[in-house]
Amino acid sequence: MPKRDYSLLGADARRAVETGLAAADWYHTEVARKDMKALMQRANSPAIRDTIVLFACMIAFAAIGIALWPSLWSVPFWLAYGVLYGSSMDSRWHECSHGTAFKTPWMNDALYNIASFCMVRNPVTWRWSHARHHTDTYIVGRDPEIAIMRPPVFFKLIANFFGLFDAWNGWSRMLLNASGKIEAQEATFIPASEQPKVIRVARIWVLIYAATLALALAMHSILPLMVIGLPRLYGAWHHVMTGLLQHGGLADNVIDHRLNSRTVYMNRVSRFIYWNMNYHVEHHMFPMVPYHALPRLHAMIKHDLPAPNRSIAQAFAEMWPALRRQLASEEYFLKRALPATAKPYREDLHAAALGTAAQ
């Protein structure tokens, strides 16, 4: 097998289009229209409650962190603030990009823009990128959001627990966009009519960072950067931890989300930070079901899905050895057993692309 080419402009991208792997019709568990309609219903109250809790905690932790600065006693408060900024905002960015968090559109858009800023993801670029991730989930050469490419680069994965590559990428893209340019691969999925918006947002962000930096210089202190910017690094670990589990070690180039996505049962705090995206197979199969309805959707369709991982630790124990095996063999992936009640994997949809399954 030739090496995978993850470029959106490369050989695998062309092959995916030619073979029909791109923009394919994916397997869905059957759900009655009446039930799906009920699951898709929007509500404001769960997201308003969660957003008030989130911002109240952020303000409180940052205020205590500032008050105790530069004592070591401030560290736990920065760590808590950082996780809410550098990780909770990832899931808020995600859910609001789907437009499903709130019923009221301006609320989705407002939180989406704040979260995009915190995560250093241009809200226009990433709306299109995430649409592609849902159309072509883990299709090599098509999906711009493949977190673990094969063979895995462990140094990069671990460095990203501190946001190093992701944030660097975000800030350098921001500067590129602010200079009036769009990266060539991104231009493949952002329509020309939307590209001026990418540039406008990047310029506003540069101004915000410039003001923060100026304040830090005037104060001779990194304190302003502890509030804006640096939490993207020191608080990233939780979203990377949960994000790697979404698809890590599973199949690529398949058209059945049960083969390439992972549902993991998590503790309440992680579910709050992650906004229920631990129900990841369910989310990919039915992306219009809001985060607060995912536990109900899970209960409804779990008979057709591989058994969820029981905890974050257990999921890592499953995924990590698989990633290590991919170092030796790019074709290796985990293929989890389905319960007797499930319809078989739709391997016929992508038979030509499948590698060697785990035993």
Partner 1 sequence: MSQWIDACATDDVEEEDVIRFDHGGKTFAIYRSPDGQWFCTDGLCSHEQVHLADGLVIDYMIECPKHNGQFDYRTGEAKRAPVCINLATYPAKAEGGRVLVQIG
Q: Which residues bind partner 1 (CB under 8 A)?
A: 23, 36-37, 40-42, 98-100, 105, 127-128, 131, 134-135, 191, 193-194, 286-288
CB-wise, 76 or 105, nearer to partner 1?
105
Look up residue 5 and give its two tokens: 């080419």
Tell me the C-alpha distance between 258 and 254, whole Å: 9
Q: What is the DSSP string of 235-297?
A: T-HHHHHHHHHHHTTS-SS-S-HHHH--BB---HHHHHHHTTTTBHHHHHH-TTS-GGGHHHH
CB-wise, 98 or 173, nearer to partner 1?
98
Closest approach of partner 1 to the CB of residue 174, in Å? 20
CB-wise, 98 or 298, nearer to partner 1?
98
Residue in the block written with tokens 């949809």: 349
Tell me the C-alpha distance between 358 and 189, whole Å: 34
CB-wise, 127 or 232, nearer to partner 1?
127
Q: Give the phi and the psi of residue 356 in degrees, each rounded to 5.
A: -85, 125
Q: What is the DSSP string of 301-325?
A: HGGGSPPPBSSHHHHHHHHHHHHHH
Q: What is the DSSP letter of 38?
A: H
Closest approach of partner 1 to the CB of residue 30, in Å? 12
CB-wise, 98 or 262, nearer to partner 1?
98
Residue in the block written with tokens 């241009």: 122
What are the residues facing 357 on neighbouring strands? 333
CB-wise, 24 or 149, nearer to partner 1?
24
Between the alpha carbon of residue 188 and those of residues 13, 191, 197, 201, 226, the distances in Å are 11, 8, 16, 19, 35
Tell me the C-alpha distance between 320 and 333, whole Å: 11
CB-wise, 191 or 344, nearer to partner 1?
191
Look up residue 8 and give its two tokens: 């959106």
Instruction: Name residue 204's amino acid.
Output: I
Closest approach of partner 1 to the CB of residue 172, in Å? 25
Look up residue 2 and give its two tokens: 């030739």
CB-wise, 43 or 211, nearer to partner 1?
43
